[in-house]
Amino acid sequence: MGKKRKKKRKQNRVSIRKNFLRPFLLTFCIVMVTGISAIATFQWIVEPALPKNNNHFQLNAERVVNGNAVTQEAQIEEIMSVNDKYADVLGDPAYMVENNIYAKDAVSPEQVTITFAGDILFDENYAIMGNVAGNGNIGNGIVPSLLEEMKSADIMMLNNEFPYSDRGAPLEDKKFTFRAKPTTVSFLNDMGVDIVSLANNHAYDYGENAFLDTLDVLEGAGITYVGAGRNLQEARRPVYYIINNMKIAIVAATQIEKLDNPDTRGATDLSAGVFRCWNGDKLLETVREAKANSDFVIVYLHWGTENEAAIDWAQEKQAPEVVEAGADLIIGAHPHCLQKIGVIQGVPVMYSLGNFWFNSKTIDTGMIKITLNENGLKSYQFIPCIQTGSQTMLLQGEEKKRVINYMQSISGGVRIDEDGYVTW
């Protein structure tokens, strides 16, 4: 009997362990799997949907209010609260990335300021870098007062006339080829630049690898680019900015070189390159698309004839076509000199801003500064500058007056006052 009772007690203990442990272990496994699934769901689905400080929320790391630095989270929250018209867009970062949409906060809640400059060059093999290469201080090339003017804009744009790379070889039979070290991209940040056009005839000077490096370098530095890409779809797509409850579109394209088979490769469906508009059909289609999806359309064009103050027939032909397609503002570059300010159906056209900081020559240059409000273009200002001795600076006094008078003399149909404000 004793052996039977012991055996029975042992069987009972085994039964209890089985009856208790199995459900316990099963429940534990279910809880663990559920927990892991919840964490994965948050990390892979919920978390990516939350607005973050990525390149599509362009924040000001130096912003200070009442002596206190404004956190990135606070800036994003403010951007989203101010832009209630586009709250759904700003709350969907994946949509913003897919559609090339960026968000910024403005200095003033009443208006948006956008400043444009012409050609820059960071190639240390050319004279322009003579004042900067040794110490890396961009203030020795673009004087501090001008840098402050550039940094004060809500959006600052210029023409990046070279690739950033340590790779590649210069294109054969091309007279001038440019390339800058990837580290020099930091100068754009020092200049307050938000966006650059790569739609020009030097972005591809060192071939495909250097061109692709350029896209990566700019992205890594938080600088937006337009007018070039890894394929035609990317090269032609507009950049959109949501700022002060406005959605602003920027399109960039190049006529240069004026050939069907240029040295600077145009992007195709399968290959990288710039967005070409020598045949302007795709440009006009892109402008119409931008008009349908934004409140204000800016078109930055690389066109004209080098070192010619007079506009050429191709500019004269394409400008009204671009306006008809929906452009609200046209900015031009490439001729390396200033060209006239014109107006087509109420749309201002700066045919060429010329060199901005490009070589050692003494040449008049300038910037265009516009302000926008809910009603559209509020003001349009030409800011006279000069490039000389590998430096660019703001002009004052008689020299400022001289350049404004020159611009007035070549710009029929507009009036430019003593401060550079343009009316028509």
| 3-state secondary structure (DSSP) of residue 5 | helix
Pair 235, 282: CB distance under 8 Å: no
- Concatenating the DSSP letter of every residue in 266-286 gives BP-SSS-EE-B-SS-HHHHHH
The residue with greater pLDDT, 175 or 61, is 175
Lowest-pLDDT choice from 3-7, 20-24, 115-119, 375-379: 3-7
- Give the angle 344-255-371 at the CA atoms, nearest 5°: 45
The C-alpha angle 378, 303, 248, rounded to 5 degrees, equals 35
Pairing mode of beta strands 329-333, 296-302: parallel
How open is the CA angle 381-382-387, to the nearest 5 degrees? 150
What integer pLDDT is reported at residue 26 of this predicted model? 57
Res. 108: pLDDT tops 60: yes
Look at residues 245, 346, 338, 226 and name the one whose alpha carbon lies nearest to residue 287: 226
DSSP codes, 52-117: -SSTTEE--TT-EETTEEPPHHHHHHHHHHHTGGGHHHHT-HHHHHHTTEEEE--SSSS-EEEEEE
Query: Is the model's pLDDT at 10 over the cut of 70?
Result: no
Alpha helices in 206-311 (DSSP H): 207-220, 232-236, 281-292
Residue with tokens 């401060």: 419
Is the confidence at residue 253, as pLDDT, over 50?
yes
Rounded to an integer, what is the distance from CA 372 to the centroid of its chain? Answer: 18
Rounded-to-integer distance, Cα 197 and Cα 331, Å: 11
Q: Which CATH architecture has domain 106-423?
A: 4-Layer Sandwich (3.60)
pLDDT tens per residue across span 268-283: 999 999 999 999 999 9
pLDDT at 168: 97
Q: What is the pLDDT of residues 31-59, one digit of tens each?
A: 555 554 544 443 443 344 434 446 799 88
Cis peptide before 257 (omega within 30 of 0): yes
Which amino acid makes up residue 122? F
Rg of the Cα atoms in the chain: 28
As beta bridge partners, residue 164 has 180
Share of the chain above pLDDT 90, in %: 79
Whole-structure pTM over 0.95, yes or no? no
Q: How far apart are CA 234 and CA 226, in angstroms?
A: 9
First-to-final CA distance of the chain? 116
Q: What is the token pair recorded at 10?
A: 């042992």
Confidence of residue 23 (pLDDT cuts 50, 70, 90): low
For range 191-218, the mean pLDDT: 98
Answer for the pair 366, 129: CB distance below 8 angstroms, yes or no: no
147, 191 contact by CB (below 8 A):
yes
What is the structure's pLDDT at 50?
38
Distances from the Cα of 246 to the Cα of 34, 104, 220, 328, 377, angstroms: 43, 11, 27, 14, 12
Handedness of CA 319, 232, 221, 101 (dihedral sign): positive
